[in-house]
Amino acid sequence: MTDQPELNDTDLDAVREKYRVERDKRLEGSSRAVVVPDFTGPGAEYLVDPYQPVVEREPVNDEVDVVIVGAGFGGLLFGANLRDEGMQRIRLIDTAGDVGGVWYWNRYPGAMCDVESLIYMPLLEELGYVPKDRYAKAAEILAHAKKLAKHYGLYDDALFHTAVTELRWDDEEGHWLVTTNRGDQIRALHVLVAPGPLNRLRLPDLPGLDSFKGRVFHTSRWDYSYTGGDSESELTGLRDKAVGIVGTGATGLQCVPQVAKYAKQLYVFQRTPSTVAVRDNRPIDPEWVKSQQPGWQARRQDNFTDVLAGVPVDEDLVHDSWTDLYNHLLYDPAFAELSPDAAAKLREIADFNQMESVRSRIATEVADPQTAEALKPYYAYTCKRPGFHDEYLASFNRPNVTLVDTQGQGLEAAYRDGVIVNGEKYELDCLILATGFSTETAGRGMLGYEVVGRDGLTLNEKWAGGLSTLHGIATSRFPNFFLMPGNYSQSAGTVNLMHAMQHHAKQVAYIIGEATRRGARVVEVDPEAEAAWVQTILDKAPDRKEFLAACTPGRDNYEGANTRPAQNALYGGTPREYFEILEKWRQAGDLAGFRLS
Ligand code: NAP
């Protein structure tokens, strides 16, 4: 077992009390309200595409086999797997100007993947591509998405810069009617939605923001015409500018060091500090990749997912800060030999020690003790998504960079020349919102449009009391309709979302392919099979209420409100168990739980 320094009950109580005090500061925070703009309506200006102009086109009125809403990797994987099933007319629809989804939008300086590119970037073997670096930069990942779309012929019928406004099932005709903000009326036999968990951007509800005379934008709409440069070059436009960045999550960690290098003055407005573990990026040796046996990517993905789920492996193939964290923090094999209470206590101690090492890294890297102290996170490690960076902390040693610790409160207000925090005015030319994305995980809040199934039933109405699906990918009374599950969605939960998405895409393509081979036009979940899966989710859901309630507010505990219905959970077994359920189901070949007509 990892050596854990002694921590007695009194020490642990003191740690818990410190964490509680820090959490409460944030719970009482004044600026928790957020705005999630739609493409039509208040805040729509924050959604304008700064990368590619919208080209006028005539509305489309036609019929296709499949519409896929969302052309990020989820939609692309749906498309690739459907092509393998022989599907002809596939139409991708996306609000972006091209494929790539989250990687189309998030081009902020310093943007990169925080899961190893060899397991994150899908279909590397199929496309014969070797990523340049262990953690790929955003531009390389976007280029890979485009390559994938070309390889599988997914550009042919695609509609970009197009927001779906409604999906409606027409029972008489036996197809979906897809309407969009470009006046399109598309009939589709099947509709697949792949919204991604980070599709709906979140803005702070900041009084006075309208009166601010400077430039404001969200990190997922980076305005390079203002800042100069691109995601990897000099931001020359900021040399004479005072810039504020709000938000210090994974995005803030990556863009702060870049802006710090070029802005005349940078204020980083912090509400809760992130953990910042070692990144250790380095080039990938293409020869090493060539030396691997076919199937290496799937094996590496399985290995990573197993390590993070606590499944014993012969060798930790990825061996990075993620696997190190999970190996030491959550799944020390010795925990299994202890009583649940003793194991829980040791985990808490291990967590504390891990957080202490995070805090001591800050003290080593940040010269000013007051700034260093303010950057230290006081909560359990897995309360928030862990952060990784090797330049973020040192950015605060630059004379032009100031950390503004809002003590859990966020910004108070904006005014004509800047923002007000803790009663103090900060003059700014530019305010950058690294404030993340909506945490909605179901229905309209997640998709941004209404889905109307049989007899006028909407997805919102159906899921008002909680999610209800078979395997997270389909739901009864919504025929020929499939979802790419995201977080909290009755499916597998992996840090490497791409891994799970590959399995989901394969499953959905198989169902559509097999139903077609059997001559069926309509395939729909049987309510009894759906109820049984919901019960499985409930039975297997780990009870994390107490842990999450003690956490600082964040995505995982619904900003501290913790109001998610119990069934809106991930499958409680390991991700690989879930993948095996799908695989065995396909092998049985009887489309169990679906009705064909
Ligand atoms: P995030 O993790 O939700 O962080 C948002 C930040 O904005 C937090 O620091 C939050 O403070 C702050 N904030 C939100 N509302 C605020 C307000 N009203 N006033 C002041 N501060 C406010 O968003 P993100 O950093 O964009 O990351 C989102 C997700 O994207 C991550 O969980 C990760 O999965 C993914 N991501 C991945 C990568 C990658 O490398 N692959 C990179 C970037 C993002 P609090 O902490 O106090 O709430």
DSSP three-state, residue 516: helix
Helices (H) and strands (E) in the chain, counts: 20, 21
What is the pLDDT, as a whole number, of residue 29? 63
Do residues 115 and 501 make contact, with C-beta atoms less than 8 angstroms apart?
Answer: no
Atom of ligand 1 nearest to the CA of 406: 20
What is the pLDDT, as a whole number, of residue 343? 83
Give the torsion sign (CA, 372, 374, 375, 377): positive
Atom of ligand 1 nearest to the CA of 26: 47
For ligand 1, the distance from its centroid to the CA atom of residue 436, given in whole angstroms, is 4
pTM: 0.95
Atom of ligand 1 nearest to the CA of 219: 26
Exposed/middle/buried for residue 334 (C-beta within 10 Å: 0-12, 13-18, 19+): exposed
Mutate which of 251, 270, 494 to test ligand 1's pocket (most atoms within 8 Å of Cβ)? 251
First to last CA, the chain: 57
Pairwise CA distance, residues 449 & 549, whole Å? 31
Pairwise CA distance, residues 410 & 271, whole Å? 5
Alpha helices in 518-574 (DSSP H): 527-540, 545-550
What is the pLDDT, as a whole number, of residue 1? 42
Supply the residue whose CA is at minimum distance from atom 2 of ligand 1: 249
For ligand 1, the distance from its centroid to the CA atom of residue 385, given in whole angstroms, is 9
For ligand 1, the distance from its centroid to the CA atom of residue 274, given in whole angstroms, is 9
Q: Give the bridge partners for 437, in sequence order.
A: 201
Atom of ligand 1 nearest to the CA of 120: 41
What is the pLDDT, as a whole number, of residue 27? 83
For ligand 1, the distance from its centroid to the CA atom of residue 98, given in whole angstroms, is 24
Supply the residue whose CA is at minimum distance from atom 14 of ligand 1: 435
DSSP three-state, residue 28: coil
Alpha carbons within 13 A on the beta-carbon side of 62: 13
DSSP three-state, residue 92: strand
All domains in the chain, ordered by first residue: 9-31+203-279+369-433 (3.50.50.60), 61-200+439-540+571-596 (3.50.50.60)
For ligand 1, the distance from its centroid to the CA atom of residue 337, given in whole angstroms, is 37
User: Among all chains, which residue has been given the structure tokens 């040399």?
Assistant: 239
Supply the residue whose CA is at minimum distance from atom 24 of ligand 1: 436
The string of pLDDT tens digits covering residues 70-89 is 999 999 999 999 999 999 99
The string of pLDDT tens digits covering residues 392-423 is 999 999 999 999 999 888 899 999 999 999 99
Atom of ligand 1 nearest to the CA of 206: 18
Residue 334 CB contacts under 8 Å (≥ 6 apart), including other chains:
1
Q: Which of 454, 450, 483 is nearest to 469 (CA)?
A: 483
Greatest Cα pair distance, the chain, in angstroms, is 71
User: Around Cβ 3, how many Cβ atoms within 10 Å?
Assistant: 5
Which stretches of the chain drop beneath a pLDDT of 50?
1-2
Atom of ligand 1 nearest to the CA of 388: 40
Which residues form ligand 1's pocket by a CB distance below 6 Å? 26, 31, 112-114, 198, 204, 246-252, 254, 271-272, 385, 410-411, 434-437, 554-555
What is the pLDDT, as a whole number, of residue 2? 47
User: Token pair of 87, please?
Assistant: 């599907």
